[in-house]
Structure 1
């Protein structure tokens, strides 16, 4: 899609291991969409360019091929190498590769998935289900969940729960345009009662079509939820109580107070 869906600052929704500091760690200059070098650095670069001899045809050809071989900058594979606003977007990979390193975060490990606590929960229950399949974990959710065999496995893992009516009260799904690179499925209760729900985008990302239930996959061609423009509009929608349907316009503080009362009633059902 030519249009990129705008995101809420979803990066704060996840637990982030520190990025490894190894020689392969990309530098600031690797990302053309970031702030450029200082003026002194730019001058040094300009000076270097004027003194370097021109490339011969072979060097130019090989340079072009090298650039062509890189993943597109907006691809999830490219995103996994980026650090944006201090957040390494490939951070979720550590939980699937080395779950034993995070005993306080990891709740369950199977051959197919790792279930972790969300460090910034948007409801009383908010977990992340991380598929371990190397063929799928860097695919966009729409592409990964079009594989019906994979969808059955992930759906089965997401449906496992104890306590109250898990299927009725817990929602399992994905964001239509995730900001983290690795595939992750939200397992979240309906209440949206959390101090971590701090602005309209947080709320709308789970209560509008921006949140796509796993049971709706695979999405069919023409489904409006595939359109970036539709999803941008979903994030900007006026606020509506998930339980009673009362509208709050853009009055987020009023919605938050209302949700506390709804939560008390919901718990007694």
Structure 2
């Protein structure tokens, strides 16, 4: 599919969904007037993240006092199932991230309520749900419809059916989804951010999510090297964050 065709299909998809008009307006502003702001402070952020980065295993031990070595062995069957599901999926979405970090954050906090932004195949959702299932907890997920790819039916594709009873999926942009989620539950044990990568989008979401994270809860954000939003957020709030280097990218994580 050409870029022009994809953009046109996406625009038409928005026009068919009046409930998404607010996000359409934000998208237009982000890609025109605010276009240069998306990667604000990227060079600074990468230098900062690189100077602090540790491995996923080191972070799990340091923050949670746990060892991540057993995750892939304990869940090898479900992980194999999910890998096969991804391979057979007819559209391409974001791949698996730091799954062990998410899983052990939930185990450490004995999570009952987890919120994530960004779902795609559902790899991060899977990691959280594997922990939540043991305590009959709930994962609340915010994910925009895949308007340009006809991909809505494949969101969360790698998540097995037996885990979906612990999952509530909100199919709007974060600015519409998160207020709905916070109406249902106002205190969360783990937060995982992996949606709007723009500087302004992160600044807004980080504050909203942090406000609803309980003391002792875990905050995780993917791709913090895209711009300096995460670095600025941590510095402005006096947060001593751990940075994880994972497959050439940086993930931020801290305990509130």
**Range class of TM-score, shorter chain:** under 0.3
- Structure of greater relative contact order (alpha carbons < 8 Å, 6+ residues apart): 2
The structure with more helix, counted as a fraction of residues: 2
Name the TM-score, length of structure 2 as normaliser. Answer: 0.26
